[in-house]
Amino acid sequence: MALDHARHKLSALSQRATGRLPLEGGRSTMQLLLAAVLAASTLVTPQVTGPFPVGTFNAHLTDTRADPWHPDQRRELMVTVTYPARAKGEEAPFLTPAFAAATDPIISSPAFLDIPAGTVDWTGTRRQARTNAPALPGRFPTVLFSPGLQSPREFHAGAADDLASRGYVVVTVSHTYESLVVEFPGGRLVPSEVQDARPETMKKAIDARVADMRFVLGQLPRLHKGADVTRVGIAGHSYGGYTAGETMVHDRRFDAGINIDGAMEHSGEGPYAPGEIVTKGVDRPFLLFGGDLGERELSHVDTSLTRSWADFWPNQRGWKRDVHLDDGAHLGFSDLQWAVPQIDEVTPERRVELIGTITPRSSVKAQHDYVAAFFDLHLKHRGTTLFDRARHPGIRLVP
């Protein structure tokens, strides 16, 4: 993870996920969650800001390569494809019942939201995207997205929906055996098996992620005929941001990338081990988009959280910018930014720790606008002034 406090939290979550989910009075977690759902609160997802309605579907992919975590198996992945569509079909659930049952006790635990399990009706909460809506005709630039270490792709649905509404095919990827939980067809749930942060474990994770993203891009023509694979971006949060950069080093099909608040190193609990994106840079556009941890910030001028951004900066050979979200915390770069303020049971102290003190509306708008402006500039070749001077509350351009 990019930040120590986030790594600690997700390590705790992983330990919970890879053990037995808690039982009370002999009842399963699924039964407990379903019993609580009548009293649970649904959340409201942010409206999309682009001109297009949005459709979405999940896809199960199987690679020919051996799985790095289980070499006796072929590598299997789950992805979500979100795309410009006609406004037909039912709104997609934020989480499926099986995924919510497996993860709500973990997400709600004292290590994370610290609220009673079943407080939030995750399955009743609806995305802006519609399930299997008919795709709009035409071809749209493609953006692949990788979540943070042990984080689920499902918690970046809001960003995917918004970018798709602006004319992109967005593909979010779960990294099997590392993501918190991955749900495969038939209700098969695969939890994380990452138990430590040794450098060799972290290196295995980043190598697996790069191979995953390259494989997914190769599968896109058969997944969605509207995906233009001649105009491809990649983005990621935390370890996913490192994934975006490292993938660009190894695959020239990716034209532009964004690292959202992620250290670009696989050091783990060992000595500093920067990635090739740091030591070599790339000759294509790359954006750094950082947040705060208390009085410290993740930027190329502050090395208190990681050296990797500062080391990357002089080695980057293509277009580069460093955009900072003042008063924004690490996990505010996920759907928790809009979700946490709607959960009354989350304490003010935990809210600040998770998503910072920036106004959630300002944060969401800034994130969506800057991500879209970057890809508009480099994949659609549309001009923007957002990288010339800051135009959003909380946004600062780091020189």
pLDDT at 20: 25
Per-domain residue ranges for the chain?
52-92+126-397
pTM here is: 0.91
pLDDT at 40: 82
Q: Are the CB atoms for 63 and 172 separated by under 8 Å?
A: no
pLDDT exceeds 60 at position 21: no
For residue 9, give both structure tokens. 């939290």
Q: Which of 286, 192, 196 is nearest to 236 (CA)?
A: 286
Tell me the average pLDDT across 284-302: 97
Summary count for the chain: helices (H), strands (E): 11, 15
Question: What percentage of the chain reaches a pLDDT higher than 70?
Answer: 90
Chain segment 100-131, per-residue pLDDT in tens: 999 999 999 999 999 999 999 999 999 999 99
For residue 58, give both structure tokens. 């999940």
Strands (E), 262-310: 286-290, 292-293, 296-297
pLDDT exceeds 70 at position 252: yes
**Regarding the domain delimited by 52-92+126-397, which CATH topology (the fold level of the hierarchy) does it fall under?**
Rossmann fold (3.40.50)
Give 57's DSSP letter: E
